[in-house]
Structure 1
């Protein structure tokens, strides 16, 4: 009888430990914001209808890591996140180093690409890279994954989205950070932080067709519905505006602060720029054809990425040192609330 009781206790403990150590299965069948938490290597999934938050632990959900039990499969400091055109998958760049304090210098860690099921949070595929990468994004047709190799002799890398086999290596500028696509998908833009330029790439031929000088240490060229690419120059504290058709800088905005991110709101025809290291987002409007600062909105400490809802009426801002996402009423330029997330939240993407 004692043996049966002991066995039952051991079985109960085993079941309890198993439940504790495993990230619960989730089902994302609702409009959601996916927030990358760099330091905790998690994704916070915010239900946009109820503000309820669920957490995906990337290392727990990494079935490949569990199978191989190798430290090289562990996920450290995931950075930016993108949604596939069909809305079924997420792509994440994992530089393996904390980029929240800046992007300069050639890091020695290996980067990674993660492909995740957007419905349940499970990792579908991973790819280990020789050098850190800033992001990983789907091509407009969803068939490719584009990323960068953040090294002195920079590269933009193109992978097959199904099996992550390398298709193309494109030489760009020094220490490239984000690679993005124009709204119409006609061009890809790689921000070269080490050479103060943006490489414009033809997605079909996979060739650089132009290199555009911008401000000091550009991080990303962010696409907008008005036909421009807005480049945040971190050290130069400026925004370079590139016309995505003419492929030339048409305006430079002097900020007087370090930009964390820049996003265009089509509904209000406003430019929103987060103040890295501080607790503000500034919004700009056009006066006599030039962008001018209109006002500010208080967020959490170290405001970073900005995303808008589909109707443009709500903004979401990740606050890296406040462990929150600020929800903002765009029309009234007022914060509604802060939602707690993981440690050092960075990238964010909205799934409607």
Structure 2
């Protein structure tokens, strides 16, 4: 989290005054009934969620999050899902131009019902958070705290009581889990490393040195984690079994996010400045990732989410205020969907 200085502006002041420890919020989109496979897109500037029906690739509903007073939610960022709930990280500031932050402000843990769009929990946090994510078994919610004294807060997913506090590195951004659910990975931006946590014991079992300013260790179904190093302009490929870096992929651009498609054996990395997505294919002879090509999506290309069969991808374009629907086989955009302002995270529920 380097190079960009954060100043507490009017927006920050509003959020600081609004983050109570336990602020429940009742804001239901009464017309919403998402009983079909859908993509949920976080619109950061609008503080809304666009719901895209996968069968038609049309926006079928918009979930408002902003609220007022102590319930105010500003600049929601990334989103994850478990069962019928969606968990949202709310850092309270715009991270669309990069994840470099200096200074500390409060964040929020928000959980919504994926069917109705009603807010189940809206809880203030001591420090801003890049994301909020359910544990693999759904019994806990893990939240990184973006501070120089980095911590992970682990909450009970039913009572929202704080269960554990885990010390990690400086300015932890995204927290993710390995595909087998046994380890959590935390990208420590100011330490240029990744903390590896045993999910069962809640203890840090390894610290892996990666590139300059890592933002997230993105989960691969191949037993790897793919770390996007924002300032280093590279991807560090971590072997989950050994907690060692198997390969460093030099990009030549600042990555937005990395996303592994196990079905197609491809690794996609968004290039926000060029409005593109690059893809790599696995070379069995060389035992490494090789660059396969790139294609245009939209200005500010960022988050990438694949359908479960790996055939279709949804890419958020933060500057264009759109989502690109991509045919994975031929790497072409089949549709461009208008959503809210500065779309960031996206998650698919089948």
Q: Give, in whole Å, the separation in 1 of the partners of 2:165 and 2:30.
A: 38
The answer as to whether partners of 1:106 and 1:175 remain within 8 angstroms in 2 is no
Which of 306, 318, 321 lines up with 2:319 in the alignment? Answer: 321
* Equivalent residue number for residue 255 of structure 1: 251
Q: Give, in whole Å, the separation in 1 of the partners of 2:246 and 2:31.
A: 48
Structure 1, gaps ≥5 residues long: 1-20
* Equivalent residue number for residue 300 of structure 2: 302
* Equivalent residue number for residue 77 of structure 2: 79
Q: Give, in whole Å, the separation in 1 of the partners of 2:277 and 2:150.
A: 31
1:253 Cα deviation from its structure 2 partner: 0.4
Q: Give, in whole Å, the separation in 2 of the partners of 1:242 and 1:341.
A: 34
* Equivalent residue number for residue 241 of structure 1: 237
Query: Do structure 1's residue 42 and structure 2's residue 40 form an aligned pair?
Result: no
The answer as to whether partners of 1:104 and 1:194 remain within 8 angstroms in 2 is no
Go from structure 1 to structure 2 and tell me whether the alpha carbon gap of 1:232 and 1:330 turns closer, same or farther (over 3 Å shift): same
Deviation above 4 Å: which 4+ runs of structure 1? Answer: 21-24
Aligned-residue RMSD, C-alpha? 1.3
Go from structure 1 to structure 2 and tell me whether the alpha carbon gap of 1:162 and 1:45 turns closer, same or farther (over 3 Å shift): same
* Equivalent residue number for residue 16 of structure 1: none
Q: Which has the higher helix share?
A: 1
Alignment map for 1:1-352 (pairs within 5 Å): 23-53=29-59, 54-60=61-67, 70=69, 72-84=70-82, 87-287=83-283, 288-352=286-350
1:41 Cα deviation from its structure 2 partner: 0.1
Q: Give, in whole Å, the separation in 2 of the partners of 1:201 and 1:306.
A: 25
The answer as to whether partners of 1:107 and 1:132 remain within 8 angstroms in 2 is no
The answer as to whether partners of 1:93 and 1:112 remain within 8 angstroms in 2 is yes
The answer as to whether partners of 1:154 and 1:175 remain within 8 angstroms in 2 is yes
Q: Give, in whole Å, the separation in 2 of the partners of 1:23 and 1:182.
A: 34
Q: Secondary structure at the match of 1:260?
A: coil
Q: Secondary structure at the match of 1:259?
A: coil
1:105 Cα deviation from its structure 2 partner: 2.4
Larger Rg: 1
The answer as to whether partners of 1:125 and 1:163 remain within 8 angstroms in 2 is no
1:292 Cα deviation from its structure 2 partner: 1.7
Q: Give, in whole Å, the separation in 2 of the partners of 1:131 and 1:318.
A: 26
The answer as to whether partners of 1:97 and 1:109 remain within 8 angstroms in 2 is no
* Equivalent residue number for residue 19 of structure 2: none
1:34 Cα deviation from its structure 2 partner: 0.3
1:107 Cα deviation from its structure 2 partner: 3.5
